[in-house]
Structures are given as structure tokens and as C-alpha cells.
Amino acid sequence: MKLLFEKSVAGRRCALLPKCDVEAVDLPKALLRENPPALPELSEVDLARHYTELNHRVHGVNCGFYPLGSCTMKYNPRIDEDMAALPGFAGIHPLAPKETVRGCMEVFDTARKYLCEITGMDDMTFQPAAGAHGEFTGVLLIKQYHKTRGDEKRTKIIVPDSAHGTNPATAAMCGYEVVNIPSAPDGCVDLEALKGVLGDDTAGLMLTNPNTVGIFDENILEITRLVHEAGGLCYYDGANLNAVMGIVRPGDMGFDCIHMNLHKTFATPHGGGGPGAGAVGCKAFLKQFLPASKLMQGGDRIQVRSFMGNFLVVVRALTYLLTLGREGIPEAAENAVLNANYLMQKIKGTFEPAFDRICMHEFVLDLSEYKKETGVSALDVAKALIDYGMHPPTMYFPMIVHEALMLEPTETESKETLDWAAEVFREVYARGKTDPAYLHDAPHHAQIGRPDEVRASRNPVLRYTKP
């Protein structure tokens, strides 16, 4: 496929700029370019076809099943996009006078009220632009809390090995020493291990719940009690809140602070780098440390992003909350859990679950036995699924399971789709037993087969150079 630059023909245009309705000014010479930018020149139809062709080459939720564990690639209702596109929302300027954006401020306030209610928190910021950014903000609250109390000896954050990888990264970014603790055989936090590392140097615990093997930790109340007893605070990674929203509240489990991924659970499509929102909620005693926009709200609090954050993501979240309502939110959570358990039961008997127990919104398959038997790896299976028009599950994550495939069907898939997916897994399983070579070479019908991922990440080619 040719690039836009290669399709360019001098003089072609597709934009009709409106007539200038303000007085023209001569810019100072220092601000002018010497040469015009080398932009591609195309007609509108060629541009439309270019992007449509690109669109056909990628797999999205609108194309088919996308069980990428931990990422919640669910279908987002169109009405959420419609609301975010309303000119009164999409067209505002961050420096518009407050009295002209009252409606937008109400969107923030209402979304904050509902999300605090769902999480059991007292206040919330929408500044962070992603989940990891939310974690960073939340752990800064914890840090600020200890610092304000003069409790400077707390230098460690405890992170269970079933946490999302961003958790230890966040704690390290915030200047903490990361203390890893193992999981018990049932996939939950090992309480004895936790007790062993708690002390007066504990700043807090970061817990992903449900954790990365899709399990809700049954000892959650005991865990938060122990951490508090040691003087630490409890951080809840609620990126995947779709498993529990409307059913249980992290605030009631004893957590002091949480982030949610509005771009996973609350109807903003994601992938490709955003925009997203990692809303951070906290209990009242941490409220004073929440970030604020210096320009808009004044004060000397931290600011983690410009202005108020990605506003339109909040518009989508509020629309989603209002359309689902008090009954719909827990129903979505129930369906997320039901779908995951249904698919796990249908696949079981071929590929085996790493933890054979009721899961939450996702589950992990352990292919290590299968690999020993056939030589077919989790990667081979993932690649083979592409030929069926299915996005592969998350691979080799979490690291505590060997040859892991992690599936999250999400709440928006139908029984028919799940039945089809289970059938595909059975077919791939059987093929691997009789014809492993076929799977080693998979995919056979995709545009790209097996790119050199290490090279792509070490030497990314991000700039077009004329051949």
C-alpha cells in the first residue's frame, strides 16, 4: 500500500477553508517558515479511500471478536460517540470563561458524583490521561500524605506478583522501593508473605483486583486491614472495574485510593495511544492532595496534565453511566463475568485454565503441557487464531503462568460469538496435535505474519524517507 506522500500530486486539494472573517495580520518574519511544509496533496476521495483501506487492514472491535485479556476491548455504544461529538462539548476551548462552560463543568461534577458512588470514594480527578498515569497520580497522593505527616521512613510499596505490570513501574517512578510478594497456589495474595514484608517502612500496597489471572481476592478485607495496621495506605488498580462495578465498592473493601480506566470500562474506544482517562478517586483525607489545574483552579497543588484532562472521555463515561443506569451497571458487570466463565468452561477440556475456579471478567490458559506434547507454543496458537478473524488473546502475561494465553471476552459479546470462539479454539487445538508445522507457520492468510517484534521495538522506523 502506498503512503499518502507517494500518492501526492502537486496542486490537489481536499479542504475548502472558510473565508477569513477577521482582519489579516502580517506575522513577524522570525515566525515564518522559509519553505512551505512538505505536506501530501490529495483530493478528498483519494484521502477517504486511503484511510478506508488502512481501516480494512486492522482488526478492531467493529470487525470481530477481540478477547485481548486485561484490555477490555468491548463494544462501545454509538450514543457515547454522538454525545462527545456535540459542538458544545467538542468545540470548547480550555481557556473559555467559566460562565460560558457551565454545562461542561456539570459533566465533570455529575460524572464525579456517580463514579465516587460506584467506587465508594469521596472525591475524584479526571486529569490523568491513562491508567498508568492515574496510578502515578494516586501513588503521589500516598507519598504526599506520608510526607505531610512527617512520616518519611516509609520508602516501600508492596506489589503482589499478580499485579498489572504498570503497578511496580509506577511505584518505582514515584521513587519507592518495590517489594514483590508471591501469590498463593489459589492465585490470591499470600497472606503470610504479606505479613512478612509489612513494617514501619511500608508506604502502601498496590493491588490489582480482580488480579491479572482474573481472580477476585477473597482475603481483600484482611489484606487492607493488615496494611492499615502497619500504617500503610491501600491503592486499588481498578482499570478493569467492569468485573465488579455496581456489585462491590473498593472504598468498602478498605482502599484509600483508586484509578479507573474510563477508556476500558466506561465506553471510550482505546488502542493506538488514546486519548484516555485514568480517573483517580480517593477518600476524604487524601482529597487535599488531588491535582488541580493551576491555571483554572489556582492553588499550589500538583498538576499531572494540562487543564482538566481529556474532557470528551468524561462525556462518554457520563453518557454510558446515564444510559445504563443503576440497574444496567451491575448487569454489565454480571455479563462480563458470565461471559468469561462460559467461555472458560467451553474451552476447558482442550486447553486448560491455569486456575480451575470461577473467574471474574477474564481467565488464563496454561499451554505448557500442550507445548510439551506437540511443540506448539502459545504464540503459535495466538497466530493461528488470526486466520479465523479473531484477535489473539494477550500472550505470555501474566508472567506467573507459563505459556499463558489470557482471554477477556467482555460483556458485549453474544452467546453465538462465544460458541464460535470456543469452536475455533477446539479446531486450533486439534490441528496442533496432528499438524504442528501448520501452526508454526501461522497465520497463513493475514497481511502480516510474524514481524520481528524485537527489531520493531528497538529500531522503530517512524519517519518516511524517500526510497
Ligand X SMILES: *Cc1c(COP(=O)(O)O)cnc(C)c1O
> Please, which residue, 164 or 305, has the CB nearer to ligand X?
164
In angstroms, give the least distance from the CB of 137 to ligand X: 12
> Please, which residue, 130 or 139, has the CB nearer to ligand X?
130
Q: Which residue is nearest to ligand X (CB)?
A: 131
> Please, which residue, 212 or 293, has the CB nearer to ligand X?
212
> Please, which residue, 130 or 337, has the CB nearer to ligand X?
130
In angstroms, give the least distance from the CB of 434 to ligand X: 36
Q: Could you identify the residue written with the cell 491501600?
A: 234
In angstroms, give the least distance from the CB of 204 to ligand X: 16
In angstroms, give the least distance from the CB of 167 to ligand X: 7
> Please, which residue, 259 or 283, has the CB nearer to ligand X?
259
> Please, which residue, 380 or 411, has the CB nearer to ligand X?
411
Residues lying near ligand X in the complex (CB under 6 A) are found at: 70, 130-132, 164, 166, 208, 237, 239-240, 261, 276, 278
In angstroms, give the least distance from the CB of 250 to ligand X: 13
Other CB atoms within 10 A of residue 449 CB: 12
In angstroms, give the least distance from the CB of 159 to ligand X: 12
